[in-house]
Every structure is written in C-alpha cells, then in structure tokens.
Amino acid sequence: MQLKKVLRIRSVLLAKTGLRIGMSRDQMAIGDLDNPVIRNPLTDEPYIPGSSLKGKLRYLLEWSLGGPYILEAKERHVYASPDPKDPVARIFGLAPENDEASLKVARERGPTRLLVRDAYLLEDSKRELERTAARGGLYTEIKQEVFIPRLGGNANPRTTERVPAGARFGVEMAYRVLDDLDEEYFQNYLLRALELLEVDGLGGHISRGYGQVYFLHPKKPWDAQEGLPLKERLLVEEIALGA
C-alpha cells in the first residue's frame, strides 16, 4: 500500500438560499438569538466546518446506497462494513472496533481517503455582506419565524440567524489515491455525493427552504456556470508524489 497521488478539489460554494449551520450554547441571555450560526471565534465570521460538509456528504451517499448503511447502523454510530473495499468506509473513514477481525479489515482498507477543510467566506462576498451589520447581524441575516399552536393560544415567535442567499465560501478537499479502486470511487461515489448535496441541501431547516447550495468553478465566470455539469464546476488538480 502506497500513497500515489492526491487530488485537490477546489470550488466555490454558493448559498442559493439562506444557510444555517448552528452552534450549541450552554446558556442564553435575555434578547439573545434562539438559533445562532457557528462563527470563527477569532474573526466572528460565519463559516462552514469541514466536519459538517463531510458528514452531510457521507449521510447522503449512505442513504443513496441504502441497505446495511441504513438498516444496520447502530444508534449514533455508522454501519461498520466488514468489507475492506467498502466505498463509504474507504472514502470517509471508519474507526475500527477493538477486536482482531476489525483491525485486520482496517489495516487492509488503509487511511481515510477524503479530507475536507473548513470553508470560509470569500473576500468579495464579505464586502457584499458588510451591509448586514446595520440590520442586526454581521455577515448574516436575522430571520423571524412564528410557531402557531394547532389548538389555539398565542403564536410563539423565534429568531433564527442564517447566512443570506448569495454568500460564497471557498471549498477545498483533498482525496488520497492509493490504488486504481480509489480512482474509480472518486468518479462513482464522491462526485455522486457532491451532486446529491446540490439536490438536497446543507445545514438546518432544509425542509423550510434553507440550505440550497451550488458549486462554482473558482476560475470561471460565475454567472455563466448555471446548468453546467458538476464536473465542469470543480477544479481538480492532481498532485503527484515523488517515488
């Protein structure tokens, strides 16, 4: 087993509708938002954690494959395939159980192939979003929603923070290629997961219109890419490694 090359995948993630990737909070003061977005603690800018992006890609791929990925997943744990060639485990990784059989499969499967970086707002997108500070949020919008009790009573307002539609984030991933099967899986499974993400969505409240995203090639005019196949909207660079 030997690392032959790395495929670096770069793209721009466009939020076509409001995007909300939330953060947890231990306590909330009077007047605070009910549902804040996650922010970089050093810059206070919203960003997309690589773990959120990678987790959603894995989730969509597993649901598209179905079978044991869904039926045999344990509570809070993903399906641990005994097959070292399992595409989901190879691409996204899998922590082995502490027994000899699982460790043997893990050794044969090798390291996780896909690395997903945190995605940050592009500079031009930040300039466009600076005006949102005057409306109560820095690079974000505050959306008011109302929950209406079905059997009467007062409506309950709630506030949700989200990144406005039109925001753009720089996305970078690295895909390790150890053998020909990794090349095949890149084409057949990772690209499939990325396509599913555009059809489904990212972050919270997708069923209420949030989280529609679209990938754009970082070096092509953005307004000319609508409708192009996904492969033409990704910049894939092959990084060869020395012997």
Quick one: average pLDDT of 63-80?
Answer: 86
For residues 174 and 240, the model is more confident at 174
Q: Exposed/middle/buried for 242, CB within 10 Å: 0-12, 13-18, 19+?
A: exposed
pLDDT at 42 over 70: yes
User: How many CB atoms sit inside 10 A of residue 174's CB?
Assistant: 14
pLDDT of residue 117: 98
Burial 137-146 (b: 16+ CB within 10 A, else e): bebbbebeee
Residues in CB range of 112: below 8 A, 6 or more apart: 90, 91, 92, 93, 176
The top-scoring range by mean pLDDT among 82-86, 94-98, 155-159 is: 82-86
Give the up-direction half-sphere exposure of residue 224: CA atoms within 13 A in the CB hemisphere: 5
Residue 132: closest CA among 44, 52, 218: 44
